Amino acid sequence: MYDEVKRQQQRRIKEKLDQRREHQVSDVMRQIMEFNKTPSDLKVELDRFIIGQDPGKKIMATAISFHYRRLGAAFKRSAEENREDLDSILRQTRTPKANILIVGPTGCGKTYTSEIASELVGVPFMAVDLAKFSEVGYVGQNVADILVDLLIAAGGNSQVAQLGIVYLDEIDKIAHEPGVYRDVSGTGVQKGLLQLVEGVENTIDLGSERISLSTKHVLFIAGGVYENLDAIVRKRLDRQGHNGDWREHLLTEDLVKFGMIRQLMGRFPVRVVYSLLSTQDLKDILVKSEGSPLKAYVDDFKAWDIDLAFTDGALTAIAHQSEQEGTGARGLVSILHKVLHEEMFRLPGTYKGELVIDENFVRARCR
């Protein structure tokens, strides 16, 4: 008797979960089928969060907008022929993928742009730190781990996962040293990624369930600092008698010289180079970005009935200070914390009203 009740209960739970998964698929599918943000629409939306990086954001917005529009159009076409069978639709869709490689200094918005873009499109986002891979040195297992993480990011739904964005962080850390051919770990990890990026069909064994997951439609964005890559490009440009901004002339052969394998770089045809953020950019992040850490602090103080405000001089001083940290926009968070932590401890419960931070206040706290 009890067993029967338990079985019924389990069945009900399973049905509910299956229904939820189905809803999720249809939500994401609908989002993609109805995806109608032009590259310039998407760029305008990215601009609300990401400050500066204009040429790069343009390329990103274009690649992402085309990817999802192309996928949406293919879904619509196949859905008319195939009805609701998503798996066969996915199998039929021959979307040529334009994975993206972003090069740029630390804390300049590489991961952030990718994450915000996936939110704007409405697809799952998952970031993988490749620096860990070179330490472990064993490839196969880790590539499978990426798939499992993507599945989790998609709420356990393999069909939703297949439409997501995977961000491969610190891809420059898996470069092999130029000229060192016996360096197995570098080329090994890179080779391990080839298939994943190209599109593999993999089965994830969860014990009770085996879930098959393909990366054919997953958009991969790889980011790395690539220290001194500029020197490699400039040297080549010099040799060829060209001049101009190196950022506009990055080629696969420069990345190969850095230590990347050609086949892997060939799978990232869209190249974006982000710049070091200027003092003005950093100030704009504080004032204008929807993800501004300063706005977050203002809200936090507001919750204690304290109206936090900054003078223009204070903002400039914070931007200057964080520039000196050399960690890009991440420096803003640590400087703001340095400036405010004393008041965060002291004021709640003892003070209500305005708190204006000026330049001298910032200077005194950052000494």
Ligand X SMILES: Nc1ncnc2c1ncn2[C@@H]1O[C@H](COP(=O)(O)OP(=O)(O)OP(=O)(O)O)[C@@H](O)[C@H]1O
Contact between 112 and ligand X by CB under 6 A: the answer reads yes
Contact between 51 and ligand X by CB under 6 A: the answer reads yes
Min. distance of Cβ 16 from ligand X in angstroms? 36
Q: Residue 123 or 277: which CB sits closer to ligand X?
A: 277
Q: Which of 24, 111, 202, 327 binds Mg ion (CB under 5 A)?
A: 111
Q: Residue 45 or 90: which CB sits closer to ligand X?
A: 45
Paired residues of 165 in beta bridges: 125, 219
Q: Which of 156, 165, 188 is nearest to 175 (CA)?
A: 188
Q: Which of 43, 67, 70, 110 binds ligand X (CB under 6 A)?
A: 110
Paired residues of 167 in beta bridges: 127, 221
225 binds, among Mg ion, ligand X, none (CB under 5 to 8 A by kind): ligand X
Q: Residue 117 or 196: which CB sits closer to ligand X?
A: 117
Q: Is 312 exposed, middle or buried (0-12, 13-18, 19+ CB in 10 A)?
A: exposed
161 binds, among ligand X, Mg ion, none (CB under 5 to 8 A by kind): none
Q: What is the DSSP string of 223-249?
A: EE--TTHHHHHHHHHHHTT--S-GGG-
Paired residues of 221 in beta bridges: 100, 167
Sign of the dihedral through C-alpha 354, 356, 361, 366: positive
**Cα 215 from Cα 163, distance rounded (Å):** 8
Residue 221: its H or E element: strand 219-224
Contact between 62 and Mg ion by CB under 5 A: the answer reads no
**Cα 191 from Cα 264, distance rounded (Å):** 7
50 binds, among Mg ion, ligand X, none (CB under 5 to 8 A by kind): ligand X
Contact between 53 and ligand X by CB under 6 A: the answer reads yes
Contact between 331 and ligand X by CB under 6 A: the answer reads no
Contact between 176 and ligand X by CB under 6 A: the answer reads no
Contact between 169 and ligand X by CB under 6 A: the answer reads yes
Q: Residue 53 or 78: which CB sits closer to Mg ion?
A: 53
Q: Give contact residues for ligand X (rule: CB under 6 A).
A: 50-53, 104, 106-112, 169, 223, 225, 277, 285, 289, 291, 328-330
